Structure 1
Amino acid sequence: MISVGIDISKEKITVCALEQGSKIIWKPFDVYLNKSKVEELLEKLEKVKEEIKITMEATGKYHLPILYELKDRGYFVSVINPLKMKQFCRALNFRKAKNDKIDAKQIAEYGLMYWKELEEYKVDEENYRVLKELNRSYQHYMDLRIDQMNYIDQTIHQTFPCIKKLIPHNSGDFSKDKLLDFLEKWWHKDLVLEKTEEEFIEEYKRWAKEKRYHPNANKAKTIYKLAKDSISTQPSHNSKIETNIREGINLIK
């Protein structure tokens, strides 16, 4: 039986092969991740007549190209949690030094020691792989959106304190957000107070109709009162603050 250990890097892999008794069959060598070099490795594997099991660590996405190539050729490949591998090496007191070649040999040692317990990696069907990638993208963009929303909320606390209590964010429908729409026009309380209460009420009602919100005069009165009573800590004449808020809103939308 031949245990092949593969250490994964961003642009290359390091391969080592051991047989029973930890006898080295292939000294650790590097394979750069391009078609010609990977093909040379596959040809080298095909020449081995004994049973082969290949072990590698999970490394986010870097291990996927060589993993899929090996699985396409029908090889037994086991993908190990890096923490489990680290614990294995510590138990054997291996990691006094560390480099790719040492790591590849240690991974091959792991394959020998747990030969019978190794679990073969099952490649997901294409649709499932696409769904997983889309889910990762969704989570990524949702995290960005939440961070940006929090940033906007912190900023408007300095320009229009407590406005969020009167006009909350829409939680369910991402296509419209009343607070963000409101802030695009009145990002600072002073912009409300530039007009008389009656003038602001009429302007608010026109804005609400245009944006397809309820043109509530009482809501406008409450907003005007809040603007008069609140204390801002950022000036309304600073174009940098205004640009910061407007660009932040554009990013969210």
Structure 2
Amino acid sequence: MFYVGIDVAKQNHEASIINSNGKLLDKSISFSNSKAGCNKLITVLERFEANTSNVIIGMEATGHYWVSLYSYLIDLGFDVYVINPIQSDAFRKMYIRQTKNDSKDSFVVAQIMRFGQFTSTSLADEDIMALRQLSRYRLALVDECSDWKRKRIALLDQVFPEYSKLFSDTFGVTSRELLSKYPTPEDMLSIDTDTLCRFSN
């Protein structure tokens, strides 16, 4: 059996491959966060005759950078587990003296896979993940809209403090149209009654 630990990052991931005895088969490999990079990892696995039937792959949930790699490996048929970085702290302290280079994180994750001492993150299917991303995006847009409203109110309070008393909804259609054409108190004083009435129709 082979165990692969992957240290996930934004641009380049790093992988360590160990056997059932916990021996590192080769120095860790670095591969880009892209399809070409993933194929590089698969090529290395094939060199050791490691395939979907005899490989367990683990990676830490680092931001959102693991998602595309995880999806790609799952589609190929690999057993892939995503763990919380907190779970690897004890193992990291245990192996920190055994690895003297940057591969220690991926090596530690590989050892966690070998011992099976982890709780895998529960992942939703693609539709649920897409809905979650859309929900987060909507919340971000709502927050941005609220920020712009606060900024507009702050400006109005400086140049036209009485304006908020003129409309029940400062951000209603009539208010927005009026402000877009007559943004200052002086501009509004220049409007004749007939023109002003047309704004309310």
State the TM-score, normalizing by the size of structure 2: 0.77
Matched residue, 1:61 = 64
Matched residue, 2:197 = 205
Matched residue, 1:246 = none
Q: Which runs of 5+ in 1 are unaligned?
A: 171-175, 210-253
Matched residue, 1:78 = 81
Q: Does 1:24 align with 2:16?
A: no
Q: Does 1:156 align with 2:156?
A: yes
User: Equivalences for 1:31-46 in 2 at 5 Å?
Assistant: 31-46=31-46
Alignment equivalent of 2:185, drawn from 183, 186, 189: 189
What displacement does 1:122 show? 4.5
Which has the higher relative contact order, 1 or 2, with Cα contacts under 8 A spaced 6 or more apart?
Answer: 2
Q: Which amino acid aligns with 1:16?
A: S
Q: Find the aligned partners of 1:52 and 1:80 in 2 and give their Cα distance.
A: 17
User: Equivalences for 1:1-253 in 2 at 5 Å?
Assistant: 1-20=1-20, 22-46=22-46, 47-48=49-50, 51-82=54-85, 84-85=86-87, 87-88=89-90, 92=94, 94=96, 100-113=102-115, 115=116, 117-119=118-120, 122=123, 124-125=125-126, 127-167=127-167, 168-169=169-170, 177-194=173-190, 199=192, 201-209=193-201
Across the aligned residues of Structure 1 and Structure 2, the Cα RMSD in angstroms comes to 3.2
What displacement does 1:86 show? 6.5
For 1:27, what is the secondary structure of its paired residue?
Answer: coil
Equivalent residues of 1:76, 1:120 under 8 A apart: no
Q: Find the aligned partners of 2:155 and 2:88 in 1 and give their Cα distance.
A: 44
Deviations 1:32-90 (A, max 9, x none): 234344223224335227743211122333222211111012212111234x2564467
Q: Find the aligned partners of 1:132 and 1:60 in 2 and give their Cα distance.
A: 15
What displacement does 1:187 show? 1.9
Q: Find the aligned partners of 1:99 and 1:153 in 2 and give their Cα distance.
A: 55
Q: Find the aligned partners of 1:22 and 1:29 in 2 and give their Cα distance.
A: 17
1:99–1:206 CA distance, 2 compared to 1 (3 A): farther
Deviations 1:196-226 (A, max 9, x none): xxx3x433212222xxxxxxxxxxxxxxxxx
Aligned length: 196
1:26–1:158 CA distance, 2 compared to 1 (3 A): same
Q: Over alpha carbons, which structure has the higher Rg?
A: 1
Matched residue, 1:243 = none
1:188–1:169 CA distance, 2 compared to 1 (3 A): same
State the TM-score, normalizing by the size of structure 1: 0.63
Quote the sequence identity (%). 26
Equivalent residues of 1:10, 1:62 under 8 A apart: yes
For 1:26, what is the secondary structure of its paired residue?
Answer: coil
Q: Which runs of 5+ in 2 are unaligned?
A: none
Equivalent residues of 1:12, 1:30 under 8 A apart: yes
